[in-house]
A and B are shown apart, each in its own frame.
Chain A
Amino acid sequence: MAELTYRDAVTRGIAQEMARDPDVVFFGEDVAKAGGVFKTTVGLLEQFGPLRVRDPPISELAIMGAAMGAAMTGLKPIAEIMFSDFFAVCFDYIANEFGKSRYMSNGQLKCPLVVRTGNGAGSRFGAQHSQSVENWCMMIPGLKVVAPSTPRDVIGLLAAAVRDPDPVIFFEHKSLYATKGEVPDGEIVDQLGTAKIVRPGRDATILALAFMVPRALEAAEKLKAEHGLDCEVIDVRSLVPLDTQTILGSLARTHRLFTVEENPRLCGWGAEIVSIAADEAFYDLDGPPVRITTPHLPLPATDILEDMVLPTADRIVDRVRRSLSA
């Protein structure tokens, strides 16, 4: 057991998989010599050499397309898109190519790749370098979508993503890179499609993803200490496949549902889960489900404004407390 940062967990996760399988290759802008703009890939070039760890040009289309071509023909590429906002530049591969080639070819083509990307707000980078865009990928049939919140999950879910035979979009949260957590020694392999109950509770279910998980946990502690409310917090971890059993199982015990989403309001991942709950767990619910999200705004750069829009522990406490006492 060692304490590791989320950032170093990314490096360890990639290294674990590259050491295991020579067909795993890794490339992205500035990832090799420079070790990544977020310093998540320092030392990989030295460890695995210039044939397996490569710096492409600033060509998001070429990066995504090359990852797909390599995956189709036998490699297990990990591609990095520096900021998830840049998915918009190469969205063809996400929307039209990765997840559709197997289906269109009636099972002839495969696409076992991983795209890693820096997602989310908190760095005061403004509207084009701070977005949470998991929902851009969640809506595409054929993709898998994961977003870990702890160093241990980074390693385990990255390993699961690399070993998965389908295209996986792997969202790392920029504001979590410096956070620390306990990580066991040796190989770590997790399972896609599994949510985790990170704090058991009886009075309400709070779903959160990535950077919102620590905030939801902090809120749950405050709700307990200050208001005597015992909330269950679930780290959703994997949007596709979605672990509805864990989520609906929790609802059957707590009877109240809250989602904490960093994305702007419309069509966030929580909307889909609320709709599933309405469909399949309506009679388990004792009150209306509540989505706590960033308002439907572009993200402002300045810290005082960015801090106003992201869900905070205090906002979560306030919203949950008001709903439960209503």
Chain B
Amino acid sequence: MARKPAHAPGETAGQPGLNDDIGEKMRLTMYRMQVEIRQSEQRAYDLFLQNLVKGTSHLSLGQEAVATGFAAAMKPGDLSFCTYRGHAHTLARGVPIERVLGELMQRDNGLMRGKGGSMHLTSVEHGVMGSYAIVGAHLPIACGAAWRAQYKGDKDVSVCFFGDGTTNIGAFHEALNFAAVWKLPVIFVCENNLYMEYTPIGEVTSVEHPAADRAASYGLERIVLDGQDADTIYRAARAAYDKARAGGGPSLIECMTYRYSGHSRADPAKYRPDGELDAWKKRDPIKIYRDRLIQFGIAENVIAGIETDVNRRVDEATEKCKAAPPPSLDLLTSDVYADGGWAWRN
């Protein structure tokens, strides 16, 4: 039996509406962000079909609300630590679409000029402190960044995103205990999309909620959120950040969500039971949010205006990437060491 989530979906502060604790401006920002992620990810998929995205890629179609809510509640200077499924979190911090698509297409205009690839999106100037492709590795790394904030008296928080499958690796448990004991300003966000690569998380996990049901082991609150509702995410994020900034230590937040596509671009996701995808699409985060904006009295043409504007920007970014040159060959040996080069001997 599922226990009642600590924060029920749709829970609000004040009268729900455009003048509540989230307000009109933030809601439009969050709608735009979700649409931007959706369209950029869809474009990445289309470009892959045209053979223009090289290497692998892991999309967040269906998971837009989580990235949006957590990023929207951040302040400049807060730090994001992502996984290989990190396009959404990178875009949500304000990184231009062109820089993300450029990296996927391994062009010179990419965030890392093609040296990292889709699994390692990094933009330090936007607070995106890397995307990590070894499952679990970045949870301890986020602890270290939070330790620096604690030690220096800086007020930033470190926010670490990972999947359900990550809760069964040792680094998850080491990081949770470490952060709790040291009371670090770090937020661990589990995006429970029900699957690891191909195996359902429930088949290999001793508890129903792979992150939240472990929280008690680390003296933390059990939090399960509706991951398809950006408002719910935003409120929970804000509360967790406030607590961390006030010296209250880490939070572990599990968001129930779903990925519409396969694990990576090579995966047709045949292992999913019939009807599961359709059922989740009925709770599409963008549809939920659009309906709410309409219900709150935002005009249809304002919403449509956001959608066309994003579409235009994704098109422009795509054209820029197609026109961008490949990276220059001297990148091969640059930035292995801090002197800019790769010399290991004299």
Contacts and interface: CB of A to CB of B under 8 A. Distances in A.
- Most B CB contacts (10 A, CB to CB) among A62, A108, A243, A276 go to A62
A102 B335 contact: yes
A325 interface: no
Contacts of B143: 62, 65-66, 69
A70 B145 CA distance: 5
Contacts of A302: none
A109 B112 CA distance: 11
A93 B111 CA distance: 23
B124 A108 contact: yes
Nearest to A68: B141
B140 A64 contact: yes
A105 B95 CA distance: 14
B151 A59 contact: no
A110 interface: yes
B141 to A, nearest CB: 4
Contacts of B147: 66, 69-70, 75
Interface in A128-165: 141-142, 144, 164-165
A99 to B, nearest CB: 8
B137 A97 contact: yes
Contacts of B331: 106
Given A72-B129, A106-B331, A109-B130, A65 B137 contact: yes
A71 interface: yes
B296 interface: no
Interface in A230-273: 240-245
Contact of A69 (B117, B146, B174, B345): B146
Interface in B24-62: none
B134 to A, nearest CB: 5
A73 B122 contact: no
A25 interface: yes
B113 interface: yes
Given A102-B335, A106-B115, A72 B151 contact: no
Interface string B145-158: 11111011000001
Given A109-B124, A241-B344, A242-B344, A25 B141 contact: no
B178 interface: yes
A290 to B, nearest CB: 22
Interface string B110-136: 011101110010111000011010101
B343 A241 contact: yes
B174 A62 contact: yes
Nearest to A108: B124
B139 A96 contact: no
Contact of B346 (A73, A144, A245): A245
B340 interface: yes
Interface of A: 25, 51-52, 54, 56-57, 59-75, 77, 92-93, 96-97, 99, 101-110, 112, 141-142, 144, 164-166, 193, 240-245, 276
30 contacts: A52-B151, A57-B174, A59-B177, A60-B174, A61-B140, A61-B171, A65-B175, A66-B140, A66-B147, A67-B144, A68-B144, A69-B129, A69-B143, A72-B130, A72-B145, A75-B147, A92-B134, A92-B171, A93-B137, A102-B335, A102-B337, A105-B115, A106-B335, A108-B112, A109-B130, A110-B338, A144-B337, A193-B346, A242-B345, A242-B346
Given A65-B140, A107-B335, 4 more contacts: A69-B147, A73-B144, A102-B338, A112-B338
